[in-house]
Amino acid sequence: MEMIYLGRYALTFDPVTFAIKCPENTSRFSGLATSRFPKLYVISVQGHSHPVYVGITKQSMSNRLRIGWAANGKNGYHGYAWRRHFFAATMDIWCQLDAVEGDCLDIETVEAELVYLIRQAGQWPAYQTEIHFHRSTEVHREVAATIGARFGLGLEIGQPQMLTP
């Protein structure tokens, strides 16, 4: 898997609106964050020892966030639960560059493995509402461990580092 770290984004929000601040100090997503490549994103909130949410998308990040804020439960999707409990968060984003068009199997598998690492560290992410489980390989687990290491999760001594932030 070829994953690239896109950076840490600052989110400020209330239950109906949000604003972002990108690593380049702009208020909009750019580059791979706007692409159709699969992306994994992790939401962290100050005061919580571990991430509160892990998600994936093939949409642009701005569109994905808009959907998460606009949802009202009408079709069964209530949007991001964490948006109703906090006013600020950070969002770290990784992009899978070698995904076969339309295939999210690998990134969904990494998402599940990362959520599992968070669980092993104490409890499921506080606002995780859905997860897809697939048979994982050592590569999926290594990618998840490398991402998890950014959040102080379960990287064992001697385990290879595949991604560079």
Question: pLDDT tens across 122-137, in order?
Answer: 999 999 988 889 999 9
Query: Measured between alpha carbons, how far is 9 from 26 in angstroms, rounded to an integer?
Result: 10
Q: Where do the domains of the chain lie?
A: 3-108+124-131
Q: CA 56, 128, 68 angle in degrees (round to 5)?
A: 60
Question: 31: pLDDT confidence band, cut at 50, 70 and 90?
Answer: very high
CA distances from residue 99 to 1, 2, 107, 132, 145 in whole angstroms, order as listed:
8, 8, 9, 17, 19
Is residue 70 over pLDDT 80? yes
* Nearest Cα residue to 18 out of 30, 27, 7, 5: 27
Beta bridge partners of 42: 54, 92
| pLDDT at residue 107, as a whole number | 96
- The DSSP string of 75-102 is TS----GGGGT-SEEEEEEEEETTPPTT
Question: 64: pLDDT confidence band, cut at 50, 70 and 90?
Answer: very high
Query: Rounded mean pLDDT of 136-162?
Result: 79
| pLDDT at residue 77, as a whole number | 86
The identity of residue 68, as a single letter, is G
131, two tokens: 């997860």
Q: CA 116, 121, 123 angle in degrees (round to 5)?
A: 70
Question: 162: pLDDT confidence band, cut at 50, 70 and 90?
Answer: very low
